[in-house]
Amino acid sequence: MNRRRKIYEGKAKILYEGPEPSTLIQHFKDDATAFNAQKHEQIEGKGVLNNRISEYVFTRLAEIGIPTHFVRRLNMREQLVREVEIIPLEVVVRNVAAGSISKRLGLEEGTALPRSIIEFYYKNDKLGDPLVTEEHITAFNWANPQEIDEIMALVLRINDFLSGLFLGIGIRLVDFKVEFGRHFENDMMRIILADEISPDSCRLWDVETQNRLDKDRFRRDMGGLIEAYQEVARRLGILVENGHPKASGPVLVSSK
Ligand code: TMP
């Protein structure tokens, strides 16, 4: 296993060369970081949960026709993915004010936004992933206008679908971050969803209690991160009470 060629190591994941051309193995680590890795801890079991949750979300998104890099889960911590040329943007969609938009614009956390807002951040750790506009993206050729349009259309579909999926299990999708890549196949290029979608990259609040079921538990020293991620997995129907994986679908929460 360790002889595999490492292609890239990020803060929470490692990419290895895959078994076939144009594939990679995405390995989920237990590392949790915040504030551009100024805060860093190992949280045992986080990688396993994110692997399962991201597999589940990417599979559901593929079912509604969102092209993704996910091929199949290989084991507890790894999935086979399609190789992409990553577009150096973190695309954030917000439904409710929280985190950096609350600070930047002085909005109370929990305020519903007038409509879903898409933001782009330039993926560059040295610069702390600065907020950028479409002008920067096209001027520096990180993506062309057509690619930006496609990404915006995709994230709005992802947002609508995931908002409904999570609402069905009593969770409010406050915001999330996704990344896209260019996948080349037979001289054709298409933009596909890459990276992960997990409680590391979303804000997920319990509808009833407003309890945080995401990485803010780590960022804000609230504790109980694993329990929160397990709760998300349990409600999605991918974990049973004793923590072992199960195969059935989401557990519906009654609506009021
Ligand atoms: P923010 O409010 O800190 O800008 O975060 C917006 C969303 O993006 C939130 O769901 C957390 C996620 N996120 C990441 O996945 N990676 C990051 O590096 C940052 C800053 C945020």
User: Which pLDDT tens digit goes with each residue over 16-50?
Assistant: 999 999 999 999 999 999 999 999 999 999 999 99
Q: Are residues 42 and 103 in the same domain?
A: no
In a domain, 243, yes or no: yes
Q: Are residues 185 and 76 in the same domain?
A: no
Residue 125 DSSP SS3: helix
**Would you state the pLDDT for residue 255?**
52
Q: Are residues 95 and 183 in the same domain?
A: yes
Q: Which two tokens stand for residue 101?
A: 């938009």
Sign of CA dihedral 123, 197, 45, 219: positive
In a domain, 24, yes or no: yes
Q: Are residues 107 and 92 in the same domain?
A: yes
Instruction: Output the domain CATH number for residue 18.
Output: 3.30.200.20
For the chain, count helices (H), then strands (E): 6, 14
Question: Of 95, 175, 220, 225, which is best to mutate to test ligand 1, by the most ligand atoms within 8 angstroms of its C-beta?
Answer: 175
Residue 43 DSSP SS3: coil
Q: Are residues 74 and 100 in the same domain?
A: no
In a domain, 214, yes or no: no
For the chain, the domain total comes to 2
Q: Which two tokens stand for residue 67?
A: 């092209």
User: Which pLDDT tens digit goes with each residue over 72-123?
Assistant: 999 999 999 999 999 999 999 999 999 999 999 999 999 999 999 999 999 9
Band of pLDDT at residue 254, cut at 50, 70 and 90? low
In a domain, 30, yes or no: yes
Q: Are residues 127 and 167 in the same domain?
A: yes
- Closest by CA to 57, choosing from 224, 153, 169, 212, is 169
Determine contact, residues 69/13, Cβ cutoff 8 Å.
Answer: no
In a domain, 219, yes or no: no
Q: Are residues 132 and 43 in the same domain?
A: no
* Residue ranges of E strands in 44-137: 70-73, 78-82, 85-86, 89-96, 112-122, 131-132
Question: Of 92, 158, 176, which is best to mutate to test ligand 1, by the most ligand atoms within 8 angstroms of its C-beta?
Answer: 92
Q: Are residues 80 and 93 in the same domain?
A: no
Q: Are residues 53 and 152 in the same domain?
A: no
Distance 203 CA to ligand 1 centre (A): 8
Domain that holds residue 114: 85-206
**Would you state the pLDDT for residue 241?**
55
Q: Which atom of ligand 1 is nearest to the CA of 203?
A: 10
Q: What are phi and psi of 189, to 5 degrees?
A: -115, 135
Instruction: Output the domain CATH number for residue 186.
Output: 3.30.470.20
Q: Are residues 199 and 240 in the same domain?
A: no
Q: Hey, which residues does 176 pair with through a beta bridge?
A: 93, 202
Q: What are phi and psi of 20, to 5 degrees?
A: -125, 160
Ligand 1 pocket, Cβ-based, cut-off 6 angstroms: 92, 99-101, 129, 175-177, 201-203
User: Which pLDDT tens digit goes with each residue over 198-215?
Assistant: 999 999 999 999 999 999
Band of pLDDT at residue 251, cut at 50, 70 and 90? low
In a domain, 255, yes or no: no
User: Which pLDDT tens digit goes with each residue over 118-156?
Assistant: 999 999 999 999 999 999 999 999 999 999 999 999 999
